[in-house]
Structure 1
Amino acid sequence: MKRFDNKTVLVTGGNSGIGFATALEFAKQGARVIITGRDQATLDTAKAQLGENAIALRNDAGDIKASKELAQTLAAQGITLDAAFFNAGVAKFGPLDAIDENLWDQTFNVNVKGTFFTIQALTPLFNSGAAIVLNGSINAHIGMPSSSVYAASKAALISFAKTLSAELLPRGVRVNVVSPGPIATPLYGRLGIPADQLNELASDIQSQVPLKRFGTPEEVASAVLYLSSPDSAFVVGTELIMDGGMSQL
């Protein structure tokens, strides 16, 4: 028997990167997987790879109305959740004097407000014994230049792991957070940096990691599945840092 047989899980931003790798691992472990994302083409591609039982829903993680619509769509189909990985997010960087209100609002709308209100909307659908995993970041800990807004948004999610755990435990729902360091995903290609500068940035980041490499989406997925399974039944409100030692050594 597989770990997630007869279980239903939700992965926001499950159409690429860490989200897709996690959704794929859930599916391999027997789960019925629901993924969300904003791009219909990548949602369709991901769904095809996840199997016939997968559900792919176009959804804007930064839109509170969309959060309510997601909950209504699932409820209308009689779907309840055994686990959810809140992975959808944006990463925008810039020095203090270059940050504008638009960057601030987009980052906090998607990473913080969207996550919070989606959890709120979905709370009635979580089964007793369900697990929520939030996708944080080591940027909340290391004080990297130009990451102030992004880091603050991820620090908020880490705080949610504690406060929401206290609120949801009476319903039998655990909340934890996984905080990746540098992971090899398409995210780096969407930073708007020229290829030569991107390669230089990647090399510089890698030199700061004691393991001397980027992590993989599959490694993060393994941690998410652990935090979503009964194997971690005594783990509540905690943060699992996965950064190859970058913030520890």
Structure 2
Amino acid sequence: MTGKFENKVVVVTGGTSGIGLATAARFAAQGASVFITGRRQKELDAAVESMKGRVVGVRADMSKLADIDRLYDAVQQKHAHIDVLFANAGGGSMLPLGAITEEHYEDTFGRNVKGVIFTVQKAIPLLRDGASVILTGSTAGSTGTAAFSVYSASKAAVRNLARSWTLDLKERGIRVNVISPGPVKTPGLVELAGPEQAQQQALLDYMAANVPIGRVADPDEVAKVVLFLGSDDSSFVAGAEFFVDGGLAQV
């Protein structure tokens, strides 16, 4: 059976765990040729091994321009274009106002803003006319969170990048949209609570109690929405923000 993304070329940055991994696996299962990135070779190899289909892993820190170039060099060795780009790599840590450091700012904005800007900009020559670009935002970009202001500001910036780039790329019919998850059970989220499993579970329980539908999301629930935005099913959706948050930022 032919998949919806058969003969499509998809790039997923930050594809070794969580939302990125779940999304890459779904694209691959639907027939796409998928390129994923990760900063650690062991995790990258494990992610590729875990997926069925045509998946290539490229070790890259997407906040570094040379690594972004290496990613697209790897794509061009096999393909002449990209159909879907999911700029998902990013992250952050918690520090309250008064404790914010330059290093904290540089790391967060480097990963979430600089990395996204140049991941997309350097892809432009490879993006097929009519391609889909999806950026990873967050409910934190629309709501206030104690000790998370730098991360929240970086995700608010991502939201506006999608609006502006939709206009920049309109002549080529390239759609740019944002996926903004609420709490999702990923390594990046639980590690905010520290290494202790009990603390991590306490964080998940606290977040679940604040979500209107009463639980945190599974990464695959977000992945399904990313695939919608990457497909022709969303052909008239551009510059939009899709909240996958169980109602957290909505009610």
Write the deviation string for residues 112-151 of structure 1: whole angstroms up to 9, x where unpaired: 0011011111110011121000010000111011110000
Q: Which residue of 1 aligns with 2:214?
A: 212
Write the deviation string for residues 182-208 of structure 1: whole angstroms up to 9, x where unpaired: 001111332252444333322221111
SS at structure 1 position matched to 2:35: strand
Q: Which residue of 1 aligns with 2:250?
A: 248
SS at structure 1 position matched to 2:122: helix
SS at structure 2 position matched to 1:160: helix
Write the deviation string for residues 8-67 of structure 1: whole angstroms up to 9, x where unpaired: 100001111100000000011111111011111111111122235211100111112222
Q: Which residue of 1 aligns with 2:9?
A: 8
Q: Which residue of 1 aligns with 2:66?
A: 65
Q: Which whole-Å CA distance do the structure 2 matches of 1:176 and 1:110 have between them? A: 18
Root mean square deviation, CA, Å = 1.4
Q: Which whole-Å CA distance do the structure 2 matches of 1:53 and 1:196 have between them? A: 38
1:203 to 201, 205, 219: 205
1:72-151 to structure 2, matched below 5 A, reads 72-151=73-152
- State the AA in 1 paired with 2:31: G
Displacement, 1:90? 1.3
Identical aligned residues as a percent: 42
- Unmatched 5+ stretches in structure 2: none
* TM-score, with structure 1 as normaliser: 0.96
1:158-177 to structure 2, matched below 5 A, reads 158-177=159-178
1:225 to 220, 224, 227: 227
- State the AA in 2 paired with 1:109: G
- Unmatched 5+ stretches in structure 1: none
* Range that drifts further, 73-82 or 118-127: 73-82
Aligned residues: 249
- State the AA in 1 paired with 2:66: K
Q: Which residue of 1 aligns with 2:34?
A: 33
Pair 1:234 & 2:248 matched: no
* Range that drifts further, 201-210 or 131-140: 201-210
Contact 2:190 2:204 in 1 (8 A): no
Q: Which whole-Å CA distance do the structure 1 matches of 2:53 and 2:141 have between them? A: 38
Q: Which whole-Å CA distance do the structure 2 matches of 1:191 and 1:6 have between them? A: 38
Q: Which whole-Å CA distance do the structure 1 matches of 2:213 and 2:132 have between them? A: 30
- State the AA in 2 paired with 1:176: N
SS at structure 1 position matched to 2:123: helix
Cα distance, 1:78–1:199 mapped onto 2, change above 3 Å: closer
Contact 2:29 2:52 in 1 (8 A): no
Contact 2:28 2:53 in 1 (8 A): no
Contact 2:13 2:86 in 1 (8 A): yes
